[in-house]
Amino acid sequence: MDKRTAVVTGGIGGLGTAICIALASAGRRVVAADLGGDRQRIDGFLRRVEGLDVRFSELDATDFDACGAFVEALEAAGEGPDILVNAAGITRDTTLRKMDRAQWDAVLSVNLDSVFNLCRHAVDGMVARGFGRIVNISSVNGQTGQFGQTNYSAAKAGMHGFTMALAREVARKGVTVNSVSPGYCETAMVMAIPEEIRQGIVDRVPVGRLGRPDEVARVVAFLSDDDAGYITGANIPVNGGLYMGF
């Protein structure tokens, strides 16, 4: 069987890089789709994945037409996405009373609209081939809410609602759709939080530490496996016990 192709949006970020490595290590051909423009960041990513079947492709996941052209090019090359990991994400934190429309729109566009943009164009090929694995990277704050994150929490909660609905639509077609909700991990986004606030977060985590990106990536690789066909519409928390629910 030919290698399956995996696309990871936000693929050169801390979490995205770990996911790319995990998928490539599982025998996938990986395309890391992310914004261009920061050559130093891209080169650093390429050094980390050297020797693996991983390549970088410039993509603005908030651009519906660009996502369509991206998927179409992969299909034309015989590399139509079999696995799609929607990991692109940003924060623009402030209380709702101080939040402006640009901060709301930016977070919803990157964190939620991008999921529609990629899935809308990729799902037809998956259905036609009778196989697909879609994994959406949500967040513990989409489950619990977080002070100063009405935009981020709304986008991440919406992502799982999208996951469950699409999972029902394609379940009989060999395509699974799941969410992973990380807690606070050792990524640039979390490490940018002031140290005293970050320590307060760690103090509330039952396992007593931040998560590692590779711990999230292992769950993504599991859900993306060919043998994971009976798990769909699920949300898998990876949060060190910060939030526990049914």
Averaged over successive runs of 10 residues, the pLDDT of the chain (246 residues) comes to: 92 97 98 95 97 98 98 97 98 97 98 98 98 98 96 98 98 98 91 90 95 98 98 98 90
Q: Where are the alpha helices (DSSP H) in the chain?
A: 14-25, 39-48, 64-76, 101-108, 114-129, 140-144, 150-170, 188-191, 195-204, 213-223
Number of H helices, E strands in the chain: 10, 7
57 domain residue, yes or no: yes
Q: How many structural domains is the chain composed of?
A: 1
CB-CB contact of 206 with 10 (8 Å): no
| Cα distance between residue 136 and residue 197, in whole Å | 27
CB atoms within 10 A of CB 125: 17
pLDDT recorded at residue 1: 59
246 domain residue, yes or no: no
Structural domain harbouring 17: 5-234
110 domain residue, yes or no: yes
Q: What are the catalytic residues?
A: 152
- The CATH number of the domain where 62 resides is what? 3.40.50.720
At 103, give phi and psi (nearest 5°): -65, -40
Residues in the chain, how many?
246
| Cα distance between residue 202 and residue 57, in whole Å | 35
| Percentage of residues of the chain with pLDDT beyond 70 | 100
- Output the pTM of the full model: 0.96
Find, among 189, 184, 177, 193, the residue nearest to 86 by Cα.
177
242 domain residue, yes or no: no
239 domain residue, yes or no: no
pLDDT recorded at residue 172: 98
What are the tokens at 105?
A: 């729109």
56 domain residue, yes or no: yes
244 domain residue, yes or no: no
Coil, strand, or helix at residue 244? coil
216 domain residue, yes or no: yes
